[in-house]
Amino acid sequence: MDGWRYFVLPIFIVCNLFFCSIVSAGRPESTSTSTSEQREKINITVYQQNLALISEVRNIRLQAGLNEISLLDVPKLIEPDSVYIQFIDTPEEIKLIQQEFKYDLLTAKSLLDKYIGQSVELHETIEGKIKEKVTSAVLLGTGEENIYQIGNKIHVGHPGRVVVGMLPKGIITKPALMYQLETALSGKAKCRINYLSKGLNWNTDYLAVVADGEKKLDLQGWAHIDNNSGASYKDVVLNLVAGKINSLPEKIQPIRAQRAVMSEKAQGMDLAFKQASFFEYQLYKLDDRLIDLDDKQSKRIKLLESENIPVEKKYIIENKVPISVYPQAGRDKNQVPVKVTLEFMNIKEHNLGIPIPAGAVRLFKYDAQGELQLIGEDKINHTTLNEKIRLEVGQANDISAKRIQIDYKRINKRAYQAEYQIDIRNHKDIPVKIALIEHPMGEWRIIKNSTPFIKKNVRTAEAEIEIPAKKHKIISYTIEVSY
């Protein structure tokens, strides 16, 4: 029997040492943390789809062997499968083993969930006394009301507040990217981390002032950036992309950077951002400035500013209701609104000449006392170079129009003719130019008219009309429509 003891004991010791060596082999020999304080540089490209590409350079500390690195101050809305890390100076000497994104942040529920089945203390202030009553309990469950075992009884809810001991392992106070890597190096290393994050978005709004007898326009464009990503960023190199990129539902694939050639500054325009063509989009780079983007913050940065843009004031009478196939003689006698518009060309000769992102426009004009007054609001669509921009300001009060169907004739089962008159009255002291726009349906042609119409497309006919001051003009036309 004693012989077995001498035989088994060495085997037990060897096996125990072997088992311990296996367990310890997976344990990091060094752990370190990198925060935004170790961030050397950060570039953020914000898209107009609640998405941003973030590229940051950080310094981390390594020791020879297996290392566990925690990268803190990353957004809670990060796309974990988009993260791409590169070691800049020594990529061959560092072997990346594992990446993990920890987002089980500390909340009252997550903390108590870790203590289910364990002892807690319930602290209850005794009424009228400073002293607290402390009750020991076992937490059995959490929910709208926590469930406790106190002695031999089960309690649903308790007036006391819950007090626990140490912060449980696995709960963190900030989101973190965790890396395990192996290296023979010791000391500082520099890495670049690229990742996508939701919660960052931008749009554009414009302020326009009409001046010089309503023949010139001063325009300011502002980039409005919202950060709700769950992280703050200091000293950011900011890029904005205008245009819609294709994305997969829920999952968004990483986007590789592409070098772009900067366009020249438009003549007569002050650009806070440098504009460049980028793939099929427009890229705006904030010029020679670093900015801070704090979490839960909205920031406006001037995108462009241009003065003395030649502008043309136009009035539009548009019948948006398709011309009816039924006779309405005497009944289709309606007051038609006269829209006021301002038009200008996006060209360098007019102090513009760059692709202009879509956005809301607020238009102002100085009154006789020199006070700025709002005259209307509209929206600019994405507008490329050499395109016309038309802004609808409002409705004219001193120009009126009435539209009436005065004749209708059925030609056959699938065709008819109708005659219309539009009575336009100009109560102003100056002549005005008006665009009359009609939207016929089916196959159509205008067979008779007092003013020439131009067929813009299959659903639009347009005529240009000039009416002298204090005069009125009746525009008539006969249209033939078949189905």
The percentage of residues in the chain with a pLDDT greater than 90, rounded to a whole number, is: 51
Q: How confident is the model at residue 289 (pLDDT cuts 50, 70, 90)?
A: confident
Q: Which domains does the chain have, with CATH numbers?
A: 108-163 (no CATH), 315-338+396-483 (2.60.40.1180)
- Whether residue 437 is predicted with pLDDT greater than 90 in this model: the reply is yes
- The pLDDT score that the predictor gives to residue 26 is 55
Side chain identity, residue 83: V
Q: Is 349 helix (H, G, I), strand (E, B) or coil?
A: helix
pLDDT tens readout for residues 116-128: 999 999 998 877 6
Query: In whole angstroms, what is the distance from residue 361 CA to residue 219 CA?
Result: 9
Q: What's the pLDDT score for residue 361? A: 96
Closest-CA residue to 87 (of 236, 194, 231): 194
pLDDT average, residue stretch 109-120: 88
- The whole-number pLDDT of residue 146 equals 93
CA-nearest of 303, 292, 282 to 222 is 303
Tell me what the pLDDT averaged over the chain comes to.
83
**Distance between CA atoms of 294 and 36, rounded to whole angstroms?**
13
Which pLDDT does position 29 carry in this prediction? 72
Q: Using alpha carbons, select from 49, 168, 150, 47 the residue that is nearest to residue 107.
A: 168
Average pLDDT of the residues in 343-368: 92
- CA 70 to each of CA 31, 33, 174, 181: distance values in angstroms, whole numbers, following the listed order: 8, 5, 11, 11
* Beta-carbon contacts of residue 85 (< 8 Å; ≥ 6 apart): 96, 99, 179, 191, 192, 193, 194
Residue 171 near residue 163 (C-beta atoms within 8 A) = no
Kindly report the number of other CB atoms within 10 A of residue 441's CB atom: 13
Q: What is the mean pLDDT of residues 17-41?
A: 67
Residue 66: its pLDDT value, please?
93
What pLDDT score was predicted for residue 231?
93
pLDDT band at 39 (very low <50, low <70, confident <90, very high): very high
**What pTM, to 2 d.p., does this model score?**
0.72
pLDDT tens digits along 203-217: 999 999 998 889 999
Q: Tokens for 455? A: 């067929």
Q: What is residue 459's DSSP assignment?
A: T
For range 236-252, the mean pLDDT? 74
* pLDDT for 24: 40
Q: Average pLDDT, stretch 256-262?
A: 31
d(CA 170, CA 106): 10
Least confident of 82-91, 316-325, 469-478: 316-325
Give residue 447's pLDDT. 93
3-7, 87-91, 247-251: which is most confident: 87-91
pLDDT over 70 at 6, yes or no: no
Give pLDDT, residue 176: 87
Judge whether residue 371 has pLDDT over 90.
Answer: yes
Q: In what helix (H) or strand (E) does residue 3 lie, and over which residues does it extend? A: helix 2-25
Task: Write down the pLDDT at residue 423.
Answer: 95
Closest CA to 257 of 236, 273, 279, 274: 279
| Confidence at residue 257, expressed as pLDDT on a 0 to 100 scale | 32
91-100, 236-245, 264-273: lowest mean pLDDT where?
264-273
Q: Is the model's pLDDT at 101 over the cut of 50?
A: yes
Which among 457, 320, 341, 343 has a CA at the least distance from the CA of 399? 341
